[in-house]
Chains A and B, each alone.
Chain A
């Protein structure tokens, strides 16, 4: 089946630094990718939707200058958390839509801790 690889699985960074999270579709071309963040015992909150080669569409309340999303190819999307602060600590999850059958596959998530 479709596989989405998300790296890193865990990252600890200092306040003020930037962190990049990668999301790759390994065996299919992802026409659309989604980024979520999830706080403990809460549901997934959609942050943005990105289509290959175009700018991401951010959800209301998500700072596009802070959470930079790049979807440069049909198999790779990246989320960069810029100037991270402790309140950005969360679980970030990506999802990719298979262009062949419109199925959605999720990555394993990235635990970001900002100290």
Chain B
């Protein structure tokens, strides 16, 4: 499984756009990139998944450059409720290696 590196923590203010970047230099050809959100004392929740270029859903966008060695999760206009830990995982559809990195602790301030 491609190892991932993320910033340990980030601070933001309500209404701002937040971009969290994940590095995965040794991503394999058939690996996908998936982001999860976790609140305290809860299981992780799926946010978005992508393979290349840009993916957007109702809560976030995922930007993946052509070399796929990194990815950026973009949260538009964050609110206090977006305060959580965000994890990126890299793996193939047939890859059962679900080890988490350290994640990024996002704190949204009023």
Contact = CB atoms under 8 A, between A and B. Distances in A.
Given A49-B96, A102-B93, A102-B94, A44 B102 contact: no
Interface of A is mostly: strand
A32 interface: yes
A24 B1 CA distance: 26
A102 B96 CA distance: 9
A5 B18 CA distance: 31
A43 B44 contact: no
A97 B43 contact: no
Contacts, number: 47
Contacts of A36: 100
A108 B100 contact: no
Contacts of B103: 43
B13 interface: no
B20 to A, nearest CB: 15
Interface in B44-70: 44-46
Interface of A: 4, 6, 32, 34, 36, 43-46, 49, 91, 93-95, 97, 102-109, 111
Interface of B: 34, 36, 41-46, 85, 87, 93-94, 96, 98-103
